[in-house]
């Protein structure tokens, strides 16, 4: 049986209220989103409080790292701040037995020329590659063999230089992939081939429906072949975040899962 969880919703400020809703919907975990002020590293380091909520509701956590995360920033002080934040979050994950940290690839800055766009991370490959080597080593040292996966999520299409970096990260047991099936559809499934070539590294799914460029829709209301995607999640034993953006859409999506005998 697949394990389903819910995202952090902007409609619900308090974690206790989020976990109460998670329990009411018979979901298994909450994905804490570090883009929000109440889920910054210093807040997540209140381990005793988060453990008390885990014990009360018998619900686990995954963590969504800040979407602005840029460990390859050419400003070393900026990059270090992001890396330090990930290190601290890994320690939180170890203390709370969090199995997944979800992250995006930052495309970086581009220069627009008359005939093309130049991605600076692609132009300065040596600096970019060195940053990922450092990041992987720091994360491996921080994790210390703990049962944690840092999963890289697809968004609007991986750049070729990002695929090279991801392949390097996936050589480490610490790293895996998140398949966001709604983002995938909105990007014309441009990343599907790459993801399926590395499907043994799939650990995590973000599930929501999509219709052309419209995203984060209630399950069953768009054009994504949900059952086909969920069959892959099941075969790879992945967790699935029902990543809608409102309480109403979440409840309707959970109802769709129940109707289709997933929960």
Q: Average pLDDT of 245-262?
A: 97
Query: What region does 212 belong to: left with phi over 0, alpha with psi -120 to 50, or beta?
Result: left
Find, among 70, 92, 90, the residue nearest to 81 by Cα. Answer: 70
Residue 1 has pLDDT above 80, yes or no: no
- Confidence (pLDDT) at 203: 97
Predicted confidence band at 110 (pLDDT cuts at 50, 70, 90)?
Answer: very high
pTM of the model: 0.97
Residue 213 has pLDDT above 90, yes or no: no
More confident: 213 or 222: 222
């Amino acid at each position: 049986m697949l394990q389903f969880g819910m995202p952090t919703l902007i409609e619900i400020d308090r974690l206790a209220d989020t976990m109460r809703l998670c329990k009411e919907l018979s979901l298994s975990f909450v994905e804490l989103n570090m883009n929000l002020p109440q889920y910054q590293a210093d807040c997540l380091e209140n381990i005793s409080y988060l453990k008390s909520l885990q014990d009360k509701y018998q619900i686990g956590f995954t963590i969504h790292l800040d979407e602005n995360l840029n460990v390859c920033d050419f400003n070393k002080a900026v990059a270090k701040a992001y890396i330090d934040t990930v290190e601290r979050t890994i320690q939180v994950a170890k203390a709370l037995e969090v199995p997944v940290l979800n992250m995006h690839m930052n495309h970086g800055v581009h220069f627009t020329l008359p005939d093309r766009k130049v991605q600076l991370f692609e132009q300065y490959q040596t600096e970019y590659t060195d940053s990922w080597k450092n990041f992987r080593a720091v994360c491996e040292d921080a994790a210390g063999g703990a049962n944690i996966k840092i999963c890289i999520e697809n968004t609007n299409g991986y750049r070729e230089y990002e695929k090279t970096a991801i392949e390097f990260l996936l050589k480490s047991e610490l790293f895996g992939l998140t398949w966001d099936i709604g983002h995938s559809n909105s990007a014309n499934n441009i990343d599907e081939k790459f993801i399926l070539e590395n499907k043994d590294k799939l650990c995590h799914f973000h599930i929501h429906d999509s219709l052309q460029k419209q995203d984060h829709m209630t399950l069953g209301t768009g054009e994504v072949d949900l059952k086909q995607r969920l069959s892959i999640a099941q075969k790879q034993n992945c967790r699935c975040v029902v990543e809608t953006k409102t309480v109403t859409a979440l409840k309707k999506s959970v109802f769709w899962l129940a109707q289709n005998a997933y929960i």
